[in-house]
Structure 1
């Protein structure tokens, strides 16, 4: 599923034009990005919680230079799925893929 598909579904379900649906999606995405950038976490009911965490520094092998290098700490987005999403995922039929 890509952005066009999401916009089409939003437009159909909310009885709006695709331009309005795209604008709505842009506002939602911008709001999420601003919250994550400031370090705030937020929860979407029945989906999960988005937050940030700091990955520790670590060693990695660079095959081009054939040597190990140390990667610095990095702030990344973390997602914890809700219990409902976990249960829905477990109940999904494997043959759907």
Structure 2
């Protein structure tokens, strides 16, 4: 499923136009990004939680040359599925 398929499904399920469903999805995605950028955790009970974690700097290898390279520290987004989501795919 891609974004346009999701918008169509949302519109059908909610009985709204595709334009309204698209705006709702864009707003949701924008607010998720904003929350994570501020360093906050986002919890959607039953679905899962999004969080930002710090990944420390580490040594890696260039696969072409085998040379050791330094991979800088960075922040990464993590997602932990909720129990309802976990149970729905089994």
Structure 1 runs not aligned, ≥5 long: 92-97
Report what 1:10 is aligned to.
Answer: 10
Report what 2:67 is aligned to.
Answer: 67
Deviation at 1:56, TM superposition (A): 1.2
**Separation of aligned partners in 1, 2:27 and 2:39:** 19
Deviation at 1:67, TM superposition (A): 0.4
Is 2:44 the partner of 1:44?
yes
- Equivalent pairs counted in the alignment come to 90
Report what 2:22 is aligned to.
Answer: 22
TM-score by length of structure 2 reads 0.91
**Separation of aligned partners in 1, 2:86 and 2:17:** 33
Report what 1:78 is aligned to.
Answer: 78
Structure 2 runs not aligned, ≥5 long: none
SS of residue paired to 1:63:
coil
**Separation of aligned partners in 1, 2:9 and 2:86:** 23
CA RMSD of aligned residues (A): 1.2
